[in-house]
Structure 1
Amino acid sequence: MEPVPATFAFDARSWPRCMGMPIVLHQIFRQSDQKFVDMLESLRFARLSPQIIADLKKLSRPITYTDGIEPTELFPVRAHAEGANLERLRQLNSPPKVFNAVDELGRDRQGRRRLQHEVQLALDRLVAQEQVVLKVSSSFYLAYA
């Protein structure tokens, strides 16, 4: 089995053929405050001055959600996401329900059975976890009642 490195769609050799020429948008429609637009541009190109950093920090504020649904959090690495998930799970008082993956040896494209170590190498590269722990949250029922 050949290892397949993780890549992005735009890294594919077929990307330029499928996507054509890039389109660069220049006109901003959703922001009218030029200072804020300049700050966003500085972020985009990773050119942050101490003043821009200070101005961005001034924008920080607590946000109240009245619908019971919080925004999705994005993390740069899987370990950070797992840590956040575990912390939220610990806050729930309901009993945990554990779901374990059940993996079977499969066959390759030529129909040959895969060996256990080949399957394990493939599974190690997956994003899916071997075990998922879930709990019921009363706020889930409130949010979707």
Structure 2
Amino acid sequence: MRALIQRVSEAAVHVDGSLIGRTDAGLLILVCAMEGDTEAKADTLAAKISKLRIFKDEAAKMNRSLLDTGGGALVVSQFTLAADTSRGNRPGFSTAAKPAEGERLYNYFADAMRGLGITTDQGQFGADMKVSLVNDGPVTIWLDM
């Protein structure tokens, strides 16, 4: 699985003008299931993200995790993270999981985050979403499991 995480002060996702998910301080997690991904990879990714020490401690050092801070997560599906731009000018997405499997693993990943005790909202798989955020830092990290 592939993810782009952003430490945020707040983030929200809207579909057709309606708010469907949000978080206050925590993480916006853009996630893409890749061809051949499994539930085990989703579990590994969720565990890694929950423990990444990217939040400031009392000395202003990045030394605390999402679990340490009690922050929330907004998980948004984004198959374009699978973009292959090695040939030509039009990205290819053939390495992304097929839509049904991508949606299943996306929901499984969000549930895995909840299972770790993290308050987790979601976007809507396959929808035209409008995502807004206030990136804190900015801190943006790419993860590939």
TM-score (norm. length: structure 2): 0.20
Instruction: Name whichever structure is richer in strand by fraction.
Output: 2
Larger Rg: 1
Q: Which structure ranks higher in relative contact order (CA pairs < 8 Å, sequence separation ≥ 6)?
A: 2
TM-score (norm. length: structure 1): 0.20
Instruction: Name whichever structure is richer in helix by fraction.
Output: 1
